[in-house]
Amino acid sequence: RAGVSYLQGVARLRPGASIKSAAAEMEVLDRQYNQENPKAPDGGPNVSMLAGNLQELTVADLRTRLFFLSGAVGLVLLIACANVAGLLLSRSLMRRKEIAVRTALGARSSDIVRQLLTESVLLALVAGALGLGFGLAGTRFLAALSALGLPQGTTVAIDWRVLSFTLTLSALTGIMFGIFPALQLLRTDMNSTLREEGQGTSAGHRRVQIKSVLVVLQVAMSVMLVIASGLLVRSFYRLLQVDPGFDSQSVLTMNVSLPTVKYAKADQQIEFFDELLRKVSAVPGVQSTSISAALPLSPIRITPILPEGQPAVPLAERPFIIIEAISPSFLETMRIPLRSGRAFTRADNAQAPRVVIINQALARRFWPGQDPVGRHIAVGRQTPSEIVGVAADVRNRGIAQPPQPQLYLPFPQLPWANMNLFVRTAPEPHSMAPVVRAQVAAVDPDQPVTAIQTVDELMDGSRAQARSTALLLGAFSAIALLLAVVGIYGVLAYSVAQRRKELGIRLALGAEKSDILRLVVRQGLTLTATGIVLGLLAALALSQVMSSLLYKVGTHDLTTFVLAPVLFLLIAVVASYLPARGATKVDPTEALRGA
């Protein structure tokens, strides 16, 4: 249709065929096409014909985000389980004498392990049940928010598969992180335990070492999550700072798709929209109104062009650019600055000479350093049109993509039945929706309107996935940070309890309380620093995989990679200070008595 390209191809494989075989055939056809059309804009090494799975294409971007979110959930689970393992290890220390008595009375090791595993699995299942409750509330929240931008028809709900997964994961978690403390408890020397000689032995020291290793791993995983979320938050902040090239505030949009049975001719379509614009413009509270075939950030049509001064080549070899049909007041309604020339007027109708307005990107490409107003450009198969104005660039391929060359045509010179109405209002835009719909009904009572939204909402929708990913990963990082802090506090508190006699001796021999304070804090910071180093190394590797999710933020962003460790160190000082302060209150006399 006049060289205008706006279609997408979909094919169904014949029985027995595979995507792989279809892709191989398409590769051959692609090479043949490039050889036969070396100068075509859709030929050459930069454009390829590929066969792909429609489902894969639909969820391609979403899969990456869900992969990272699932990974974050897994890391938070591991951090939580490491904490639980440490707590079970501490609890087992308190039950050493009980287990020793049971063993002395003839209890088998398998009976002891079975009992301890039953307790840990029961705790895990109860926690899993509570988690399902939180998960139910969370899925309802996500479904209402539509945060992840799931494909249409996808439901977010807890079904039997989720229940089965949660039950299985809870049971496996209880077994995996309950078996280790149970085995450690069985390795304790029962004779020394029954003689009350177990305190302060190497077994206690081994438990402190084990818990220290768990804390280091917790810190490492938490640092990795915090850095990942920090990169996404900075990326989302950069998206918020992007100037789209138009003013999105106070603009209401709705789609008006005329049935071609009733409006088959171009002049009928032109007459309908002219009358609609006249009626809507007269509504009190409406500042400006216009129509456009495409919504902001989402082009619909591209076409080959031949700018004045370029070599005359066949249509198939001309460059493709974005084109848009608009009403005269579109630039005013969207507040897109006009850099030179003039805007369209009502005189630019179907009978008038063909005119276009181009954007700055198109002007830079074909007339760098020149004013193209007055030049001519052939659009598709039409006769050359005069360039009457140059408009400022707008983000026409998405908020994260730079502006692409584009030209605007007067709607009467490129009519289309499917248009979007733009209304800039003084009151809140949605409050004007019923009035605007009434004007559509006044022109044609049978004509429906759809997709009623504001341009601000459209802009928010374009950032929805980035926002939700940053928000959820940030929440997981906060939870991981909290768990890591609890782990640091727990291991230091346990260490202080194990070293109570040692600390009492140090104080009795003249050590200052400040020395004890530094000793314990240094232990916490050593564990934290070790975890931070491991976390930084892991984050460096992970950030490379995240590059597709980032916007104008380097995968090795210095700010993020510096602030995250500093944040951890500050929190680690607080987490270490509390048990350290408790250590300074040890009574040397009581400690030496073994109290």
**In the predicted model, is pLDDT for residue 1 greater than 50?**
no
Q: For 88-142, what is each residue's pLDDT tens digit?
A: 766 666 666 677 777 777 777 777 778 778 888 888 888 888 888 888 887 777 7
User: Over pLDDT 70: what percentage of the chain?
Assistant: 87
**In the predicted model, is pLDDT for residue 161 greater than 70?**
yes
- Looking at residue 255, what is its pLDDT? 95
- Average pLDDT value for residue range 415-435: 94
Structure-block tokens of residue 455: 């341009």
What is the C-alpha to C-alpha distance for residues 575 and 486, in angstroms, rounded to an integer? 8
**In the predicted model, is pLDDT for residue 502 greater than 50?**
yes
**In the predicted model, is pLDDT for residue 12 greater than 50?**
yes
Mean pLDDT of the chain: 83
**In the predicted model, is pLDDT for residue 563 greater than 50?**
yes
**In the predicted model, is pLDDT for residue 557 greater than 80?**
yes
Q: Are 433 and 301 in contact (CB under 8 A)?
A: no
Structure-block tokens of residue 117: 């595993």
Pick 437 or 137 by higher pLDDT. Answer: 437
Q: Are 558 and 245 in contact (CB under 8 A)?
A: no
User: Over pLDDT 90: what percentage of the chain?
Assistant: 32
pLDDT band for position 196 (cuts 50, 70, 90): low
pLDDT band for position 155 (cuts 50, 70, 90): low
Q: For 463-498, what is each residue's pLDDT tens digit?
A: 877 887 888 888 888 888 888 888 887 777 777 776
- Residue 423: which H helix or E strand, with range? strand 418-425
Max avg pLDDT among 61-70, 194-203, 476-485: 476-485
Q: Are 272 and 418 in contact (CB under 8 A)?
A: no
Q: What is the DSSP string of 163-202?
A: HHHHHHHHHHHHHHHHHHHHHHHHTS-HHHHHTT--TTSH
What is the pTM (predicted TM-score) of this model?
0.75
Pick 454 or 95 by higher pLDDT. Answer: 454
Q: For 166-184, what is each residue's pLDDT tens digit?
A: 888 888 888 877 777 677 6
- Looking at residue 200, what is its pLDDT? 46
Phi-psi region for residue 242, left (φ > 0), alpha (ψ -120 to 50) or beta?
beta
pLDDT band for position 199 (cuts 50, 70, 90): very low
Q: Are 389 and 357 in contact (CB under 8 A)?
A: yes
Of 179-188, 219-228, 505-514, least confident by mean pLDDT is: 179-188
- Looking at residue 158, what is its pLDDT? 79
Q: For 250-285, what is each residue's pLDDT tens digit?
A: 999 999 999 988 999 999 999 999 999 999 999 999
- Average pLDDT value for residue range 219-237: 88
Q: What is the DSSP string of 333-390?
A: HHT--EEEE----TT--TTSPPEEEEEHHHHHHHSTTS--TT-EEEETTSPPEEEEEE
**In the predicted model, is pLDDT for residue 197 greater than 60?**
no
Burial (0-12, 13-18, 19+ Cβ within 10 Å), 34: middle
Q: For 277-319, what is each residue's pLDDT tens digit?
A: 999 999 999 999 999 999 999 888 888 899 998 988 888 788 8
Pick 9 or 32 by higher pLDDT. Answer: 32
- Looking at residue 75, what is its pLDDT? 85
The residue to which tokens 């003839």 are assigned: 106
pLDDT band for position 375 (cuts 50, 70, 90): very high
- Looking at residue 132, what is its pLDDT? 86
CB environment 490-503: b (16+ within 10 A), e (fewer): bbbbbbbbbbbbeb
- Looking at residue 115, what is its pLDDT? 79
> Helix crossing, 513-545 with 500-508: angle to 10°?
140
Four-residue CA torsion sign, 553, 141, 73, 474 = positive
Q: Are 433 and 440 in contact (CB under 8 A)?
A: no
Closest CA to 399 of 488, 339, 341, 467: 467
pLDDT band for position 595 (cuts 50, 70, 90): very low
Closest CA to 584 of 518, 526, 523, 522: 518
What is the C-alpha to C-alpha distance for residues 102 and 279, in angstroms, rounded to an integer? 90
- Looking at residue 205, what is its pLDDT? 60
